[in-house]
Structure 1
């Protein structure tokens, strides 16, 4: 009877582990935006980091675990070893985080080839924003990006949460209360504005994807939109996207009213084009009128001798012709 109870208890433990996945109560979850630096704590570290081993696992990216740090020394064979470093407290630093860095990081301690204590799990979740290439004159995939695009065109921004927890993504998102929002500079949810089309989805690599689509206006230049990640109603991280029009785009897409001003000196001519394209008002300053008069006088002074010379030549030729006719 006791043996049957032990088997039942073991079965319940296995079933519980399958339902909850790899992520446990004591596991740490770190949320970071791509392009930033992050430090992952090693809660089971010994006094000497020479016993520390950091391994990375993500079955979506690698079929096996990858050993990043061995005996306190980073493995140079890894594709991102240049961005990794170890702190004095054995924490793992990752510089310039990318979407490919998401996954499970485990800190282990080995003394004389024997593991000491249990693994310290840290799940790294990365928030990233990308812009639709078809709506941009120059592609951009960095967070807090400034992309040169032009008004009048449709732009689509995709905010993606890269997550790997070992459990079904939808279940984990619901149980943890994760939510992505597009907001403006004042923090107002853009879902309340009809000019923005916002939709949500997910796939095996991204637990949440929220897209924003809108047609750009002239006044959107230097406008900032933010994608925010909330965990149980608490803001964890955000990514900024700033619209930046090029000078060429401004000049070719400007609409009325247009103000053209040349102010190199006080005698400049200022032209103002009103809302009605047919109404043009030109104002000439006193300085510019003086310069015009001076220019005309100078031209007259230089032209007068030439005119007199031509009159003399013509008169002489006419006199010669008259004398010839009289001789005949």
Structure 2
């Protein structure tokens, strides 16, 4: 009986081993088929870049191809529609990005100054069937800001990608400050269609230059990072301001760099700075500023420059009054964001002018405007300072030389000076002409005769004189 069970068990084990061998063979066959199927799809690559960079999408062209005339590049944003960007080796001019596309000698596709709209799937077709297709997934990282509310504003870091890749993993975004310290984000790794994003709310600090870094992490590796930089500049009217762009080193030209401008936070849309604007070799914007130039400027590379301008001007210029009012104004992106007592008046000794004193009366500060009434005949010097964060950011002076040349009072004073000069010249000319009309005296011939104690003067002309000496 035991031998019978043993024989049955051995047969069962043999059958099990055979079935295991068959399953293994099936698995091997399935793996081979999968690998062959993957081979028919060609290779694929995932690229990560920041907005504004130039990218190269490799074609992985077979060495048997010597020209790009049979190369096509297709683009799909979400898998629902596909557009041809390059056909038979030539850029399709109807493409929305045609002006930024070109192919190199290896048939790789070059896209200049990428934007979020360039993210998606690019397929390189070699023209010899699907087995040679090559897939490139372009991911673009951007940072944008929202206008502040109650002193706070929100930064949003977005990874734009092909719509069918699914959501981003949790904790795939990391925020850092300028010291490299990790910051806790308000919203982490949400997905909405083609975009994964993370938001960070920070306090608006116009007294400092700030920098925040957003990193996208996948597979324990930082795939791409982008920086948000806020620069605050303070100038007087007529100064030359240089607005930094922080252009990435991978960008080789300023020809594709564009600057945008918003005068204040009430504007719904940024205006583009004309291409004719002056740029230096690192794409910084150069402006000879006036009050109209104050506002927020943005270089494409996530650099926001807040240009503030301080100016002193007479509020009134009535020559019949001995006093007039000086107005100190700070023009900026957020016109109502000046703290109380941030505009200070001081005299030539550096003493702060408050209330009423000798030759002045402080009128107070409303938002970003402060007023000081001074005596017209005063030869003193008055200085207005903008102070923020216990630091003097900018100052302007009104001195004894009189009001600024552009003021109405200056025009009146200049007119009076010119009138006085003309009057003096006229009087001088009149005196000279009057003297020229007088008759010259005739020549006097004097003969002297001495007779005892008397000297006689005799004029041959009309007059004679005599003098007695005692």
Shared fold (TM-score, shorter chain, > 0.5): yes
CA-to-aligned-CA distance 1:6-36 (integer Å, 9 cap, x gap): 9998888899999x9x999x42110011122
1:73 aligns with 2:87: no
Structure 1 partner of 2:221: 234
Structure holding more helix per residue: 1
Query: Could you tell me how far apart the structure 2 residues matched to 1:63 and 1:165 are?
Result: 9
Map 1:1-328; keep pairs closer than 5 Å.
Answer: 26-45=43-62, 46-58=65-77, 60=78, 63-110=80-127, 114-115=128-129, 117-132=131-146, 135=147, 152-164=150-162, 166-170=164-168, 173=169, 179-191=172-184, 198-206=186-194, 208-220=196-208, 222-243=209-230, 244-247=305-308, 248-249=331-332, 252-255=336-339, 258=342, 260=344, 268-272=348-352
Query: Could you tell me how far apart the structure 2 residues matched to 1:81 and 1:227 are?
Result: 30
Deviation at 1:167, TM superposition (A): 4.0
Query: Could you tell me how far apart the structure 2 residues matched to 1:8 and 1:235 are?
Result: 36
CA-to-aligned-CA distance 1:220-248 (integer Å, 9 cap, x gap): 4x211121222333333222222344423
Deviation at 1:255, TM superposition (A): 3.9
Contact 2:175–2:215 under 8 Å retained in 1: yes
Deviation at 1:101, TM superposition (A): 1.1
Contact 1:56–1:67 under 8 Å retained in 2: yes
Deviation at 1:153, TM superposition (A): 2.5
Query: Could you tell me how far apart the structure 1 residues matched to 2:36 and 2:348 are?
Result: 80
Query: Could you tell me how far apart the structure 2 residues matched to 1:233 and 1:272 are?
Result: 58
Contact 1:39–1:91 under 8 Å retained in 2: yes
Q: Secondary structure at the residue paired with 2:86? A: strand
Taking CA–CA contacts closer than 8 Å with sequence separation of 6 or more, which of the two structures ends up with the larger relative contact order? 1
Structure holding more strand per residue: 2
CA-to-aligned-CA distance 1:90-132 (integer Å, 9 cap, x gap): 111111211111111111212xxx4385211111011112222
Query: Could you tell me how far apart the structure 2 residues matched to 1:56 and 1:251 are?
Result: 45
Q: Secondary structure at the residue paired with 2:99? A: helix
Q: Secondary structure at the residue paired with 1:82? A: helix
Query: Could you tell me how far apart the structure 2 residues matched to 1:214 and 1:100 are?
Result: 27
- TM-score norm. by structure 1 comes to 0.60
Query: Could you tell me how far apart the structure 1 residues matched to 2:351 and 2:33 are?
Result: 81
| CA distance 1:131–1:14, change in 2 (3 Å) | farther
Larger Rg: 2
Q: Secondary structure at the residue paired with 1:36? A: coil
Q: Secondary structure at the residue paired with 1:50? A: coil
CA-to-aligned-CA distance 1:111-158 (integer Å, 9 cap, x gap): xxx4385211111011112222xx25xxxxxxxxxxxxxx95221111
Deviation at 1:43, TM superposition (A): 0.9
Query: Could you tell me how far apart the structure 2 residues matched to 1:89 and 1:16 are?
Result: 27
| CA distance 1:272–1:14, change in 2 (3 Å) | farther
Query: Could you tell me how far apart the structure 2 residues matched to 1:215 and 1:260 are?
Result: 25
RMSD after superposition: 4.5
| CA distance 1:204–1:44, change in 2 (3 Å) | farther
Over 6 Å off, 4+ runs: 4-18
| CA distance 1:228–1:106, change in 2 (3 Å) | same
CA-to-aligned-CA distance 1:180-218 (integer Å, 9 cap, x gap): 122111222112xxxxx5212423424521001133134
- TM-score norm. by structure 2 comes to 0.43
